[in-house]
Amino acid sequence: MSAQQRRGPSRPQHTAVQPARRVALDVLTAVRESDAYANLLLPTRIARAALSTADAALATELTYGTLRMQGYYDRVIAIAAGRPVDRIDPPLLDVLRLGAHQLLSTRVAAHAAVNESVGLAREVGSRSGTGFVNGVLREIGRHTPEEWRDQVASRAKNEDDRIAALASHPVWVVRALRRSLEAEGRVEELEELLEADNTAPRVNLIALPGLASEPDDARPDRFSPPGFTVGGGDPQGLVEESGGRIRVQDEGSQLAALALTRAQPVLEGERWLDLCAGPGGKAALLAAEALAGGATLVANELVPARAELVRRALAPVPLDVPVWELDGVVVGTEHPEAFDRILLDAPCTGLGALRRRPEARWRKTPRDVAELTTLQTALLDSAIAALKPGGLLAYVTCSPHLGETRGIVASALERHGDVLEQEATAETVQALANERLDLAGDPATVQLWPHRHTTDAMFIALLRKRAA
């Protein structure tokens, strides 16, 4: 028997907790307790803690990695703890998730992951809780990541549950994504898609057309003409130097706005509407395109805080853009046939942006889809009413869920078949893209995918109101 065995189990060491881990835990706690958005809160917490570049990178990896794989880690923790996670104090569960991520998915030394997690547990829990965290994490550390995957898989209820567990997605989301891929004849891509959802996305930027130029070291985006990427480092400095005329924006979002603005030549005096404009990224691109073409733009956002974000996003564009704070469902009644082009980037589940907002997968339920499709339908009806005869409407969601995409468009065509027709959206997007996109399914719509296009899973459908 070794000296260590005679002494019994290792005792947690009292060490100072690294600031990066404390920041990560603070964000995880805020996400759980207050439904905070990690992508909005984390930069603020990093700045407040004055983290070094290396510590900021660590805090970012720990936060997003833990949120992405939370469902899988919960299954590992339940096995190691011998109890369901809903019987673990939530603050200690946050610590365990953070520790499990370090042990199973990073190169952090096991002793550092355990000891610092114990230090965090000491700050948020009781003495018994500290010992519990120490014991559970040491049990996790006794097995390899491959052994844990085998254990989790062996306890799955069925094949869908196994896929959901290992890919860390709710079962209902896995099934919804499978149906969306089936509609394209690409169901064999499911596991590749789930893996892409759990991969940190690259940072895409856009130089607002006519207002900014790409930096010398820019690499053009694969598809979006004004989009680009740069080498490592924080792009915020580049954004600030440009006065906001260079922005961080996913390539899929860029293509969604450009599909509306570049589907046909812009005529002087056209009037455009961004119906659900918050937080303003697409509105800024629309404003730049409107300025270049001699059009005008109105942005609408119901929520005052988000309307203020829209105003900030629009500020760098030298175009007078009124920002309304109307309920989008009444705009068509109050402003009938008033706009030549309308972007409806409808509120949705956000299942297409799980790489960037991983917590969304744990917040949404099938009930949310039903509620959102009711809202999406009302907003689309309003947009159609606000569109001039001959005008063009882009219906966009950051979700591939068929209920929020093809289903909404199909029902609108049924209700408004006398005045509404579909455009060849795929042809339009292919024509504006830098290189040809691998698209599948209905050519009247475009569904982008993170695994296929390295974009968010944006859905785009162009609809035209027949001329009187």
Cross-strand partners of 324: 300
Which listed residue (38, 114, 398, 433) is catalytic?
398
Instruction: Check if the beta carbon of residue 27 is closer than 8 Å to that of residue 34.
Output: no
- Is 348 among the catalytic positions? no
289 in Cβ contact with 305 (< 8 Å):
no
Q: Which two tokens stand for residue 378?
A: 């009302």
Closest CA to 287 of 256, 267, 257: 257
C-alpha separations of 309 from 26, 42, 171, 298, 326 in Å = 25, 18, 34, 15, 15
Q: Which residues are marked as active site?
A: 398
